[in-house]
Amino acid sequence: MLNLMVCPAGRVCIEGLDKEPPRATNLCPAGFYCPQGNVVPHPRSCPNGTYNDHQGLRDATECTPCPTGYFCYSDKEQGIANPTGPCPSGYFCPPGTAHPYSFPCPIGSYWNSSLGQGGDTCLPCPAGFYCKSIATETPAVCPHGFFCPQVEDSAEELA
């Protein structure tokens, strides 16, 4: 009689095991999730836009959404154990952002990652400056002969 057991969710099994793998040494690694029946070396990476800093996840829904101001992205089959990095200048990263260049700041706003703030939204271009293109990192000083109020349309007036 053939007696096959399925590898438990949250664990990785090596081909040819004769008993259930010990929980302490065979937990699914951080950055991955392991559904029932998972076999080494094939744990599944948390989806882009999420990460996982714990071992033993069983399902993609257990991966944590990337936090505000950060992106979680991998173009390889490596797991995402921590947020990949802070949102780049000129872009903003709402919760769950996968690719760093998904959300460019619109005309009339900017984002400079060196400001050390949240990164979940772009800042309006301040009075006396203009932001005439998408993904502006640093507002430009209003040119001589013009005035630049703090409104989203100020960049279009200069174009």
Domain ranges within the chain, ordered by starting residue: 1-82, 104-159
Per-residue model confidence (pLDDT) at position 115 = 67
Tokens at 54, concatenated: 């714990």
What is the residue whose two structure tokens read 């065979």? 26
Please choose, from the candidates 133, 102, 117, 28, the residue with its C-alpha nearest in 3D space to the C-alpha of residue 125: 133
Peptide bond into 106 cis (omega under 30): no
Per-residue model confidence (pLDDT) at position 24 = 67
- pLDDT per residue of the chain (159 residues) written in tens, 0 to 9: 556 677 777 777 776 666 666 666 678 889 988 887 766 657 888 999 999 999 988 899 999 999 999 999 987 778 899 999 998 999 999 999 999 999 999 999 998 877 666 667 888 999 999 999 999 999 999 988 888 888 644 334 433
CA distance 118 to 19: 49
Per-residue model confidence (pLDDT) at position 119 = 65
Strand partners, 70: 86
Per-residue model confidence (pLDDT) at position 62 = 94
